[in-house]
Amino acid sequence: MTTKVAVIGAAGRMGSTACDAVEGADDLELVGRYDDGDDLGDLGGADVAIDFTVLAASEGNVRHCVARGVHVVVGTSGWTDAKAGELRSDVEAKGGVGVLIAPNFAIGAVLMMQFAKQAARFYESVEVIELHHPRKVDAPSGTATRTAEMIGAAREEAGLGAVPDATTQDPDGARGAQVEGVPVHAVRLRGLVAHQEVLLGNEGEMLTLRHDSFDRVSFMPGVLAGVRAVGKHPGVTVGLENVLGL
Ligand SMILES: NC(=O)C1=CN([C@@H]2O[C@H](COP(=O)(O)OP(=O)(O)OC[C@H]3O[C@@H](n4cnc5c(N)ncnc54)[C@H](OP(=O)(O)O)[C@@H]3O)[C@@H](O)[C@H]2O)C=CC1
Ligand SMILES: O=C(O)C1=N[C@H](C(=O)O)C[C@H](O)C1
C-alpha cells in the first residue's frame, strides 16, 4: 500500500531534500508541497506530513495536521519536552494519530546521543560542541540541546554533582550555554553542514564522540523510517531512537 506524504517547508534545504527522498521511495507518494503563506487545507489528502520549517510556525502546522487526523513527522528544531507535552492531550484525543518529533534524523547522530547517555555516568566532566552551516537560525542546535538534556538526566540519576569548573569571570559567555548543567558551544562556519562532538573527561583520559553530516541526504533514511513508523506510534513520541528499537 502507498502512503501519501505532504511536506511543509518544501522549498527549504531540508524540505526539498525530503521531497526528493519521498519521490524516490516506491512505497510513498508525494501529494503536497507547502511553504510560508500556503493554506495547508487538507494537505492534499496526505496520510503523513513532514514539517521542516521554523519553530514559530511548526506548532501551528502540527496542530493543523493533528486536527485533520494526519500523522506528523517533525524535524524542525527547538521543540522542548514542555512544548511537546502541551500537544499530548490534543493528540491523544484524536485516537490513533501519531506525532514523531526528532531533533536529528541521521542514524549516526541518534547513536551518538545514545552513546553519550550511556557514557555520561562514568565521567566527571562533559561538554558538547555543535558545529553548523552559517545559515542556521537557532543556537544551540536541537541536537545539542537534546544531547545535553540526556546527559544531564543520566548524571543526575547517577548522583553526579556539577561538572568541575573554576571559572569565576566570564563576561562574554566564553564558557558557552548551560543546558541541564552541561556547557554547550555553538560554531557557525561556512562549508559545514551539521556536526557535533561530545567530550567526556576524567583524570588522565578523554572520550570523544563525534558525528558528521556532510550532506542532507544523511537525514533521509531516518526521515523515511519516521514516515513509515509514525502511524504505528499513536500519541507524541520524541526521538527517532523510539522507532528504531534502540
Ligand atoms: N531533525 C533533523 O534531522 C534536522 C532538522 N533540521 C531543522 O529543520 C528546520 C529547517 O531547516 P532548513 O531546511 O535548513 O531551513 P530552511 O530555512 O532552508 O527551510 C525552512 C523552510 O520553511 C519555510 N517556512 C517558514 N515558515 C513557514 C510556515 N509558516 N509554513 C510553511 N513553511 C514555512 C521557509 O520558507 P521561507 O524561506 O520563505 O521563510 C523555508 O522554505 C530547522 O529548524 C532545522 O534546525 C535541519 C536539518 C536536520
Ligand atoms: O539546522 C540544521 O542544519 C540542523 N538542525 C538540527 C538541529 O538543530 O539539531 C539537526 C541537525 O543538526 C541539522
pLDDT tens digits, one per residue of 79-133: 988 899 999 999 999 889 999 999 999 999 999 999 999 999 999 999 999 999 9
* Position 1 pLDDT exceeds 90: no
Residue intervals in the chain for CATH 3.30.360.10 = 107-214
CA–centroid distance, 168 to ligand 2, in Å, is 32
Best residue among 110, 132, 185, 187 to mutate for probing ligand 2's pocket (most ligand atoms within 8 Å of CB) is: 132
Superfamily of domain 3-105+217-243: NAD(P)-binding Rossmann-like Domain (3.40.50.720)
Which pTM value belongs to this model? 0.96
Superfamily of domain 107-214: Dihydrodipicolinate Reductase; domain 2 (3.30.360.10)
* Position 52 pLDDT exceeds 90: yes
| pLDDT tens, position by position, 166-195 | 999 999 999 999 999 999 999 999 999 999
CA–centroid distance, 53 to ligand 1, in Å, is 3
Catalytic residue among 71, 94, 132, 195: 132
The Cβ of residue 225 has, within 10 Å, a number of other Cβ atoms equal to 18
pLDDT value, residue 223: 98
Query: How many whole angstroms separate alpha carbon 97 and alpha carbon 65?
Result: 9
DSSP-derived pairing of the beta strands 48-51 and 3-8: parallel
pLDDT value, residue 97: 96
pLDDT value, residue 13: 98
Best residue among 16, 77, 107, 215 to mutate for probing ligand 2's pocket (most ligand atoms within 8 Å of CB) is: 77
Nearest ligand to the CA of 196 is 2
Residue intervals in the chain for CATH 3.40.50.720 = 3-105+217-243
* Position 7 pLDDT exceeds 90: yes
- Tell me the average pLDDT of the chain: 97
Query: How many whole angstroms separate alpha carbon 5 and alpha carbon 12?
Result: 17
Q: Which three cell numbers stand for residue 129?
A: 560542541
